[in-house]
Amino acid sequence: MKHAKEYLDEANAVVPKMTAEAAIAKHAEGGGTFIDVRDSAAIAESGTIAGAHRIPRGLIEFKADPAVEAMYDPVFQQDADIYLICGAGGQAALAGKTLMDMGYKNVTNIGGFPGWKDAGGPTES
């Protein structure tokens, strides 16, 4: 049996991480696609990154696959810089590994939303 920690360890080994401060600088430059992978209830409770796309982790495979025409979201481009955030960093790491397994190369885990907010990153409800 494979445990959650093993999945997280594998994801953290391959998905690059970035500090909230560095991610805020990237966001300020206007480059990249910022995606919050938490469910809508969590985002409604705390808010999210200003301008972030809200795509729950459970839908990543469908939203990121152009072959799934009914669900594909064009924010997913193979050559885009994709920055993922969640509540604490674990879901972002797992979603990032999934995207990398799907062929996305420029995927970064920017950790949890509380870190973004504490570092003064722009937010929205």
Q: Which domains are assigned to the chain?
A: 4-124 (3.40.250.10)
Calculate ∠ Cα 87-108-94, nearest 5°: 55
The predicted-structure confidence for 2-47, as pLDDT tens digits, reads as follows: 999 999 999 999 999 999 999 999 999 998 999 999 999 999 999 9
Instruction: State residue 31's pLDDT score.
Output: 82
Instruction: Report the alpha-carbon distance of residue 12 to residue 74 in Å, rounded.
Output: 26
Instruction: State residue 40's pLDDT score.
Output: 95
Instruction: Report the alpha-carbon distance of residue 34 to residue 107 in Å, rounded.
Output: 10
Q: What is the mean pLDDT of the chain?
A: 97
Mean pLDDT of 69-75: 97
In angstroms, how far is CA 108 from the centroid of its own chain?
7
Mean pLDDT of 56-67: 98
